[in-house]
Amino acid sequence: MSVPPRVVVVTGGSAGVGRATAREFAQRGDRVAVIARDEQRLRETEKELQELAGAGLGISADVADARAVEDAAAQIESELGPIDVWVNNAMASVFGRVIDLSAQEIKRVTEVTYLGSVHGVLTALDHMRPRNRGVIVQVGSALAYRAIPAQAAYCASKHAIRGFVDSLRTELMEEGSDVSVVSVHLPALNTPQFDWSRLKFNRRPQPVPPIFQPEVAARSIVAAADHPGREVWVGGPTVATILANRLAPSLLDRYLARNGVKSQLTEDPADPDAPGNLFLTVEGDYAAHGRFDDRAKPRSLQADIRNRIAGLVARILP
C-alpha cells in the first residue's frame, strides 16, 4: 500500500536521528519541516530536503518553549499545508553521575527531552484533532524502560514521556479519535550526541555497543508513521534490554553497577573546554552521523523484519 505525500514535522531534525528521519521522509516525496535551534544546520537541512522532495522548511525554535513550538506549527501549516505526521525527536543529555549534576542541568534536560515532547504533542493535537486524522510519532529509547548510570536526567525524561504518551493514547481511544500515537524505542546509535552533550567524565563518551547507524532508526520511524501501532522496539539490543528488565531487574542492576559507566566511555581523553549544546548550540559540521562510522551497523535484521511484517499486515488488514 503506497502512502501519498504528506506534511511531516521532525523536531531536532537538523542532526542525528532527526536529520536521518527528515531525509528518509523527503526521499519518498513528503514535504518535511524540521524544528531545531542552530540556524546554519537548519539552512543546510532545508536545502537538502528541497533537493530531495522539492519542498522543505527549517524553523529555528527551542522545543522547551511551548509558544515557539506553536508558532512553528502555524508557519508550517501556512507554508507546507496541514500537518499529517509529527515526530517528537528533540533531546538533550548530560553524561555524569547524579552527584555531579546541578539542578539547572537536570531541569534543562527535562525541559528539552520531556517537556519538549509534551509541547510537540499538545501542538500536534491542536492541529490534528479538529481534522480527526494524523500520526504522532514519539521517539523513545530502550532507556525509557531500563535506566542506566551516568544518564539519569535523560532516562528519567524518557520514562516520563512513556507515561505521558500511554495516558494520551487511552484518552484518544476513549473519544474515538482517528489520531494515532506510536512510540518508537531505539538502540544505541551513531549520532553527534556523543560529541556535543555536556560531559562530567575525563574520557569521551560512546553509545553502549552494539551501535547502529541513525538510518536504522529513521526507517523504523517512517514505517511507524505509515502503519502506526502502539510501540515499536528497534533492534535486537532494545528487545533484549526491555525483556531482561522485565524478567530480572535486580540482576540487571548489579550488571549495570559493574559495567554501566565504563561501557559508555572510550579510552580517548575528553577536552575539558569542549563546548556542549545543553544551553547553547554548538558550531560545527554535524549531520546525521557521529564519529563511530567504523563501528556502527547499517542495518538491523530485527527492525527490517518488523517493518516488513507491519507493511504486510497493513495490506491484509487496511
Per-residue pLDDT reduced to its tens digit, 43-60: 999 999 999 999 999 999
pLDDT at 2: 61
Residues sharing a CB contact under 8 Å with residue 184, sequence separation 6 or more, in sequence order: 137, 138, 139, 140, 217, 220, 221, 224, 231, 232, 234
Q: Dihedral sign, CA of 213, 215, 216, 221?
A: positive
Q: How confident is the model at residue 309 (pLDDT cuts 50, 70, 90)?
A: very high
Q: 273 pLDDT exceeds 90?
A: no
Average pLDDT of the chain?
A: 96
Tell me which amino acid residue 234 is: V
Grid coordinates given for 33? 519541516
Mean pLDDT of 112-134: 98
Q: How far apart are CA 165 and CA 170, in angstroms?
A: 9
Q: Is 154 a catalytic residue?
A: yes
Q: 141 pLDDT exceeds 60?
A: yes
DSSP, collapsed to helix, strand or coil, labels residue 251 as helix
Percent of the chain with pLDDT strictly greater than 90 = 93
Q: 99 pLDDT exceeds 60?
A: yes
**For the whole model, what pTM was predicted?**
0.96
Residue ranges of domains in the chain, CATH in brackets: 7-312 (3.40.50.720)
Mean pLDDT of 77-104: 98
Choose the catalytic residue: 145, 154, 255, 286. 154
Q: 177 pLDDT exceeds 70?
A: yes
Q: How confident is the model at residue 1 (pLDDT cuts 50, 70, 90)?
A: very low
pLDDT at 275: 82
Mean pLDDT of 182-210: 97
Grid coordinates given for 256? 549495570
pLDDT at 106: 98
CB contact at 8 A, 16 and 217: no
Q: How far apart are CA 183 and CA 138, in angstroms?
A: 5
Tell me which amino acid residue 203 is: R
Mean pLDDT of 281-306: 95
Q: How confident is the model at residue 251 (pLDDT cuts 50, 70, 90)?
A: very high
Mean pLDDT of 278-305: 95
Mean pLDDT of 305-317: 85
pLDDT at 274: 85
Mean pLDDT of 215-222: 98
Q: 163 pLDDT exceeds 60?
A: yes
pLDDT at 67: 98
Tens of pLDDT, residue by residue over 14-38, are 999 999 999 999 999 999 999 999 9
Q: How far apart are CA 288 and CA 13, in angstroms?
A: 9
Percent of the chain with pLDDT strictly greater than 70 = 98
Q: Provide φ and ψ at 8, rounded to 5°.
A: -125, 135
Mean pLDDT of 86-90: 98
- Structural element, H or E, at residue 40: helix 39-53
Q: How far apart are CA 134 and CA 265, in angstroms?
A: 40
